[in-house]
Structure 1
């Protein structure tokens, strides 16, 4: 497992602002390359999707914490009842 293995940190998370603020270089004159308006439209859609996903992850993390607290409380109650 250690043979030539290099441990790298995970790349930074992609946030909606990274997508919205991404700039593309101009390819050339005329109709060469991609349509800049089409690229911007797509990037806005991706940014919106990322924002939605980040909100979902935050909501699910909160719910997960709430459920874990409730489970710990229930387990504590059950343990106290057994000792009584």
Structure 2
């Protein structure tokens, strides 16, 4: 899948404000509606960027889980070590 690039649309990462301010070019010769190729390309870009953000979020959540598990293991080992020192 390719990333949508156009001088008529957004540059850089998609943001809610950028999407709200987006203006697609109208069809030629006074017909109503938008140019199908521009709409299709923008939809492909939206799908690509949403997929990327979902992937990044999944990676962040996995890293967060790994850190929490490591902290939990360390806390358990530290508590056991302190208890064994008291005995």
TM-score by length of 2: 0.60
What is the count of residue pairs matched by the alignment? 55
Task: Kindly report the root-mean-square deviation, in angstroms, between the aligned alpha carbons of the 2 structures.
Answer: 1.1
Name structure 2 gaps, 5 residues minimum: 1-29
Shift >2 Å, 4+ stretches: none
Name structure 1 gaps, 5 residues minimum: 1-29
More helix by share: 2
Q: Give the structure, 1 or 2, with the largest relative contact order (CA under 8 Å, sep 6 or more).
A: 1
**1:37 deviation in Å?**
0.8
Structure 2 counterpart of 1:46: 46
TM-score by length of 1: 0.62
